[in-house]
Amino acid sequence: MRSKSALVPLAVLALLGSCASDPPEREPSIASAIPAAARPWTRRFHEESVLFAAEVEIVGPIGLREHLVVAQDPETSEHVETTTPEGYRIVQRRKPDADDAPIRAHLDALAIFADQSLSVLESPNASDVVVSARGEVFFRVTKSGEETRTSSLRLVGTP
């Protein structure tokens, strides 16, 4: 039989184990607190269209990433995702020694091709979705055939 002094540490361990609690669950993010279907979203990019440019920047509200797909090719581009004070940022730059394959993305039905870089910011401070393109920009709405060629272009979608 064990002595009483040997049982004390076992009793303390048992008490500590029963007092311990599971770590607190993380607070839900702003994005997960509101179901995707309930968040207002623009229809501006629902019409099939294509955008070619050297640089493309997309800024939008929480939920932007649910409407965006960015193709990643580690052989031709560098891809970085970070959380910043402004929001969630995605930056993809073409490597200097890469072939001519552009950076590809889709925002709803807008196909995006960027020769040099694509930058995305999902910000809790944004209300509109703004797509800014620079450097030999070509934009075409597929259904109507309407084309725009310019050095810079700004497309704004309001919920």
Hey, where are the domains in the chain? 31-157
- The pTM assigned to this predicted structure is 0.77
Rounded to the nearest angstrom, the gap between the alpha carbon of residue 74 and the centroid of all alpha carbons in its chain is 18
The pLDDT of residue 144 is above 50: yes
Distance CA 63, CA 34 (A): 9
Amino acid at 101: A
User: Among 19-23, 68-72, 140-144, where is mean pLDDT lowest?
Assistant: 19-23
Q: How many CB atoms lie within 10 A of CB 82?
A: 9
Phi, psi of 14 (to 5 degrees): -65, -40
The mean pLDDT of the chain is: 84
For 56-73, what is each residue's pLDDT tens digit? 999 999 999 999 999 999
Whole-angstrom distance, CA of residue 76 vs CA of residue 114? 12
* Backbone torsions φ then ψ of 81, nearest 5 degrees: -120, 130
The secondary structure element, H or E, covering residue 81 is strand 77-84
Task: Number of helices (H) and strands (E) in the chain: give both, helices first.
Answer: 2, 8
The model's confidence at residue 99, banded by pLDDT at 50, 70 and 90, is: confident
Nearest to 49 by CA among 114, 120, 108: 108
- The rounded distance, in Å, linking the Cα atoms of 121 and 111 is 18
CA angle 116, 122, 126 (to 5 degrees): 115
User: Which of 141, 118, 143, 145 is CA-nearest to residue 51?
Assistant: 141
- Supply the pLDDT for residue 97: 85
In this predicted structure, the answer to whether residue 21 has a pLDDT above a threshold of 90 is no
